[in-house]
Amino acid sequence: MIKVIETGLYTSIQDLGRPDWHSLGIPYSGAMDAQSAHTANALLQNNSSAAVMEITMTGPILLFTKPCWVVFSGAQMPIYLGQQELAQHQPHWIKEGQEIRFGKLIKGLRLYMAIKGGFKTASVLGSRAMCKNVTPYFMVQKGMELDCETGTKDQGVYLKVQSATPLQSEEIKIFKGPEFATLSKAQQENLENQKFQVSNLNNRMAYQLSPNIAPHEISQLTTPVLPGTVQLTPQGTLMVLMRDGQTTGGYPRVLQLSAKSINAMAQLKTGDSFRFKLVAL
């Protein structure tokens, strides 16, 4: 078991999510930065679907009541095992009774902790990903005990690699969305030439951007949306849907992020600036 002594700002258990249930109105969920989660699992030779801990901005305090191997990947923040600072992207053996704490965020937003064999929390609709209104808890709770396998020290250290996810990327590659052509030429140029910032309205459901571009009066029926769909409100606000985003929406879908771009966006925090880079589909 791993006991949660303090929760941090927003700490949850995530895996690859629930893509098979999207047609029934269930969000995808899963790790916001899937590449960093994959890297952490790969370093322990876990299955890519193994559940990891997603740590957002400030870290929890974790007490290990079983010994196991752990790996960290993603955002840069100090990780302490007692007085020892742990490096990212390499496995560490944690003994029974030891605590892990986290320091102040340096770069990026989300850090991932994988454990050998993955977290064994409850599965809902074939996934352990925590999600509001889908699972009993949408983030870990103080005092919660998270089940995991008991590792053995001779499982060894396998690899040492760097994550492929850029932190605080200044350029987000993006495709034209289904309603891109309905925008005026000025609005289309604005999307690529404007420098945007992540507003304080950002979470696992969506990122709202500033400044606004020109308003519009486009009227359309509700249509399917996906993680990475960029919608444009009538007021000209761009909203980037993320892993816990809704499954349908009534605003024009002007842009669409690739899977890699969703990972990069997930590592941007309030106030971070970037530009969109349109690429051919």
The label of the residue with tokens 């986290």 reads 102
Domain range enclosing 62: 2-155
Kindly state whether residue 70 falls inside one of the protein's structural domains: yes
| Statement to judge: residues 220 and 143 lie in one domain | no
Residues 137, 13: Cα–Cα separation, whole Å: 10
Judged against a pLDDT cut of 60, whether residue 158 lies above it is answered with: no
Kindly state whether residue 244 falls inside one of the protein's structural domains: yes
pLDDT in tens, 89-102: 989 999 999 999 99
From start to end of the chain, where are the E strands? Answer: 2-6, 10-14, 52-56, 61-64, 68-76, 79-81, 84-85, 92-94, 99-102, 107-115, 145-146, 171-176, 196-202, 206-210, 223-224, 229-232, 238-241, 248-249, 253-257, 273-278
| Statement to judge: residues 109 and 178 lie in one domain | no
Kindly state whether residue 148 falls inside one of the protein's structural domains: yes
Last residue of a domain, one of 123, 155, 187: 155
Residues 75, 80: Cα–Cα separation, whole Å: 15
Mean pLDDT of 49-63: 96
| Residues β-bridged to residue 273 | 197
pLDDT in tens, 7-18: 999 999 999 999
| Residues β-bridged to residue 238 | 232
Judged against a pLDDT cut of 80, whether residue 161 lies above it is answered with: no
For β-strands 196-202 and 206-210, DSSP reports them as: antiparallel
Kindly state whether residue 230 falls inside one of the protein's structural domains: yes
Last residue of a domain, one of 155, 188, 208: 155
Q: What is the mean pLDDT of the chain?
A: 91
Q: How confident is the model at residue 160 (pLDDT cuts 50, 70, 90)?
A: low
Judged against a pLDDT cut of 90, whether residue 220 lies above it is answered with: no
| Statement to judge: residues 186 and 243 lie in one domain | yes
Kindly state whether residue 160 falls inside one of the protein's structural domains: no
Confidence (pTM): 0.92
Segment among 151-160, 214-223, 258-267 with least mean pLDDT:
151-160
Give the per-residue pLDDT at 50: 94
| Statement to judge: residues 73 and 191 lie in one domain | no
What share of the chain has pLDDT > 70, as a percent? Answer: 94
Last residue of a domain, one of 155, 186, 203: 155
Give the per-residue pLDDT at 281: 79
Number of domains in the chain: 2
Query: How buried is 244 (Cβ within 10 angstroms: 0-12 exposed, 13-18 middle, 19+ buried)?
Result: buried
| Statement to judge: residues 122 and 92 lie in one domain | yes
Q: Tell me which residue of 19, 20, 38 sits closest to 28, measured CA to CA.
A: 19
**CATH code (residue 197):** 2.40.100.10
